Structure 1
Amino acid sequence: MYLVKAVAFVAALLAGSASAMAETSASVVDFETPLSRLQPLQGYLRQPAGAGPSPAVVLLHGCAGRARQLDEHWGRQIAAWGYVTLTVDSFGPRGLKNTCSSGAPVDLALDAYRALGYLVQQRFVDSGRVAVLGFSQGAWQALTSVERGIVEQASPNKFRAAIAFYPHCLGFKGDMTVPTLVLIGELDDWTLAVECRNMVDGRDDWGISRQKDQGVPIKLIVYPGAYHAFDAPGLTTPMQLLGHHLEYNPSATDQSIGAVREFLKATMTRSGPR
């Protein structure tokens, strides 16, 4: 019971000042049913002002869920930059509240492509310019979606770029198929920066490096003094969850916002890298 309450409390903190941002132009959309359920996968869709088709970003939440709050915090901001955003609710149709201690169902690995499959069918989306952006567990999903392998190869549609906030990098070789940006705190004790450095260098769990000519280069930004969930304004008072330190870092947050905007600008232009 304590764990459930603690995770729920952290989910609220990660959401930041969501109540103050209750007004929203996001619409809830249904897309492909991922499981043998009546309720389809859902997401929060935003369209930027102006004529389309526009580039788009799929957003993936962490183990505490709270897709709506992720949309209000990051989806709204990215849409203001001129992108369509679709924030996926991976938990609702599966009847999940959180997976911080239990681990995510394997099927979640396909949710990014389910969202992409929906977006490329929309007239207001430029189907060749869709990026994926994830946080913690969602960052793992984002990396899985663009590293060369079964998940990436199974989809006829492809992402243009990927962004991962404090992902678990252990187990990835870094053989990415598209430009990828990883942002993580130097002091993160839940998802370790050293593991992401190993991934960027092409070293896997056994210290075996990929060949230098394999994969698209990964850009890694490590923020000194920053912990897990450094972009969550509700964590101005640090706390522990499952033995890990969570803390908001305004400097790292501001820098990450700028880094995300510049990365999207560089990779999502019509003439940018594919």
Structure 2
Amino acid sequence: MKPSAAAILVTALSIASAIECAAAPSESAAFVVELENPLASKQPLQGYLRQTYRAGPSPAVVLLHGCNGNWRRLDERWGKRIASWGYVTLTVDSFGPRGIDNTCTSGAPVDLAFDAYRALNFLVELPSVDPARVAVLGFSQGGWLALTSVERGIVERVSRNKFRAAIAFYPPCLGFKDNMTVTTLILIGELDDWTSAMECRNMVDGRDDWGISRQKGEGIPITLVVYPGAYHGFDVPALRTPIQYFGHHLEFNQPATDRSIDTLREFLHATVGGEERAKEETK
């Protein structure tokens, strides 16, 4: 029997990881991987994969970028950090295979809604990943896609593999009409003038500006954290000097970033668990 593509990939990554671990054991290496066979898909996705250095299957996190792409920077900013907590991370490039540079004014193509699950389907085939403990994490437009992935609806329903948890940094919160199927966390700045904190409050309360309301108490609750004084992109160090981007204020905020790091780590620990949780469960 011929080895599967995933098995070959994992063997190669294991060798590379061992070399990297010897050189810098405190930092995981990122590998560009193809998530699908190019012969089986017209637009096969790619992404940055970071493995853990612990034995046995690990929890994992799929990361989804915003409307300006920059998946490599997202991996550097968050993929590397989350991997250091004991998670396999996969930062998806949704634009490259589609020949897209930016969707900040045009809106996301409809088929992007399935990218999170395409990444999940890749991860669950890896021996290094526990398929029952994978979270999806998105930023801005990617946050909206993360929420779409776990909202009770057609995208979640037709996917054979399921996420265990979802996190969205400053997502657009309008348009969600159904309940979330997993524990969900939203982090947003109070002064965000691109994706409104008030719209996210309405969503969490089961209502929106269109007057549609879900039954309060139904479904799995959403946790919303709003950071005072923070704008869109509050976690991006490159925005230490504020900018106007497509008419919106973007600015880095160190206190909000620090708090979001702690909140995200605690949330992942509680929902899918990293190294600390694995140690607790074996006691």
Task: Tell me, yes or no, whether TM beats 0.5.
Answer: yes
Partners of 1:54 and 1:156 lie apart in 2 by: 20
In the alignment, does 2:51 pair up with 1:47?
yes
Pick from 123, 128, 132 the counterpart of residue 127 of structure 2. 123
* Deviation of the 1:106 alpha carbon: 0.7
Partners of 2:118 and 2:246 lie apart in 1 by: 31
Match of 2:84 in 1: 80
Deviates most, 25-34 or 258-267: 25-34
Partners of 1:194 and 1:35 lie apart in 2 by: 45
Work out whether residues 139 and 163 of structure 1, in 8 Å CA contact, stay in contact via their aligned partners in 2: yes
Superposed CA deviations along residues 219-257 of structure 1, whole A, max 9, x for unmatched, are 000000000000000111111011100000000000000
Pick from 133, 140, 143 the counterpart of residue 139 of structure 1. 143
Match of 1:104 in 2: 108
Superposed CA deviations along residues 73-127 of structure 1, whole A, max 9, x for unmatched, are 1000000000000000001100111111111111111000000000111111000
Q: 2:242 corresponds to which letter in structure 1?
A: P
Work out whether residues 28 and 51 of structure 2, in 8 Å CA contact, stay in contact via their aligned partners in 1: no
Pick from 256, 264, 267 the counterpart of residue 260 of structure 2. 256
Pick from 92, 114, 122 the counterpart of residue 96 of structure 2. 92
Partners of 1:83 and 1:213 lie apart in 2 by: 32
Structure 1: which 4+ aligned runs deviate by more than 6 Å?
33-37
Closer, same or farther: CA 95–223 of 1 in aligned 2, 3 Å: same
Larger radius of gyration: 2
Match of 2:219 in 1: 215
* Deviation of the 1:217 alpha carbon: 0.4
**Bigger relative contact order, structure 1 or 2, given CA contacts below 8 A and separation 6+?**
1
Partners of 2:228 and 2:114 lie apart in 1 by: 33
Work out whether residues 174 and 218 of structure 1, in 8 Å CA contact, stay in contact via their aligned partners in 2: no
Match of 2:17 in 1: none
Partners of 2:145 and 2:89 lie apart in 1 by: 17
* Deviation of the 1:207 alpha carbon: 2.1
Closer, same or farther: CA 178–49 of 1 in aligned 2, 3 Å: same
Stretches of structure 1 lacking an aligned partner (at least 5 in a row): 1-22
* Deviation of the 1:206 alpha carbon: 2.2
Sequence identity percentage: 72
Superposed CA deviations along residues 156-197 of structure 1, whole A, max 9, x for unmatched, are 110000000000001113610000000000000000000000
Partners of 2:232 and 2:107 lie apart in 1 by: 17
Partners of 2:186 and 2:93 lie apart in 1 by: 22
Q: 1:68 corresponds to which letter in structure 2?
A: R
Match of 2:229 in 1: 225
Matches of residues 1-274 of structure 1 in structure 2 within 5 Å?
25-32=29-36, 40-173=44-177, 175-269=179-273
* Deviation of the 1:209 alpha carbon: 1.9
Work out whether residues 165 and 183 of structure 1, in 8 Å CA contact, stay in contact via their aligned partners in 2: yes
Partners of 2:79 and 2:226 lie apart in 1 by: 23
The alignment covers a number of residue pairs equal to 250
Q: 1:220 corresponds to which letter in structure 2?
A: L
Work out whether residues 146 and 176 of structure 1, in 8 Å CA contact, stay in contact via their aligned partners in 2: yes
Q: 2:140 corresponds to which letter in structure 1?
A: S
Deviates most, 44-53 or 222-231: 44-53
Deviates most, 37-46 or 163-172: 37-46
Partners of 1:37 and 1:81 lie apart in 2 by: 33
Partners of 1:271 and 1:148 lie apart in 2 by: 32
Partners of 1:225 and 1:57 lie apart in 2 by: 28
* Deviation of the 1:31 alpha carbon: 1.4
Closer, same or farther: CA 93–160 of 1 in aligned 2, 3 Å: same
> TM-score with structure 2 length normalisation?
0.84
Closer, same or farther: CA 62–220 of 1 in aligned 2, 3 Å: same
Q: 1:128 corresponds to which letter in structure 2?
A: A
